[in-house]
Amino acid sequence: MASDSNFVQAAITRFDGHYDHWSMRMENFLQSKEYWQIFEDGIGAPTEVEALTNAQKMEFEARKLKDLKAKNYLFQDIERPFLETILCKETSKDIWDFMRKKYEGTSRVKHTQLQALRRDFETLKMNEGESVMSYCAKTMETSNKMRFHG
């Protein structure tokens, strides 16, 4: 069971401010866990709990539990500086929508990110004792990030 827990930790991508990459991987992860529907539809709060049948109450409670689990994955994934901005959000859908609105790349933000990546690319140098493969990997990583941002 511990190895399964390690797999989940390894599967989740930590949010580092690059929303486009993170959201793509996180959406895929949440779909594989069958939680993505909660992010699209929300939990759908009933108007009056007393008027619900037992089956409807059980379904609502199941959606709330699924939402709580999805929210837990988001909390595991988001670093403290980013986490503090979403703590007041009630549901996982609220968190996802807020993250999209706040961090989704506008053209100005993407341009700034590209400038930073270009600076990183131009200042890359091979360190003392570093293998050629390691240096090539760093170069390709920066190049791929640039390509990802257009």
Are 57 and 128 members of one domain?
A: no
Are 24 and 93 members of one domain?
A: yes
Are 77 and 99 members of one domain?
A: yes
Q: How far apart are CA 138 and CA 131, in angstroms?
A: 11
Average pLDDT over the chain, rounded to whole?
Answer: 81
Phi, psi for residue 105 in degrees, rounded to 5: -70, 120
What is the total count of domains within the chain?
2
| 39-94 pLDDT, tens digit each | 888 887 666 656 778 888 888 888 889 999 998 888 888 878 778 888 888 888 99
Query: What is the reported pTM?
Result: 0.60
Q: How far apart are CA 68 and CA 74, in angstroms?
A: 10
Domain that holds residue 121: 107-148
Phi, psi for residue 99 in degrees, rounded to 5: -60, -40
Q: Could you give the maximum distance between any two Cα atoms of the chain, in Å?
A: 71
The pLDDT > 90 percentage for the chain reads 12
Residue 6's pLDDT is 47
Higher pLDDT, 128 or 109: 128
CA nearest 48: which of 60, 63, 64?
60
Are 99 and 117 members of one domain?
A: no
Are 87 and 123 members of one domain?
A: no
Q: Tell me which of 56-60, 121-125, 126-130 is least confident.
A: 56-60
Contact 63, 38 (CB under 8 A): yes
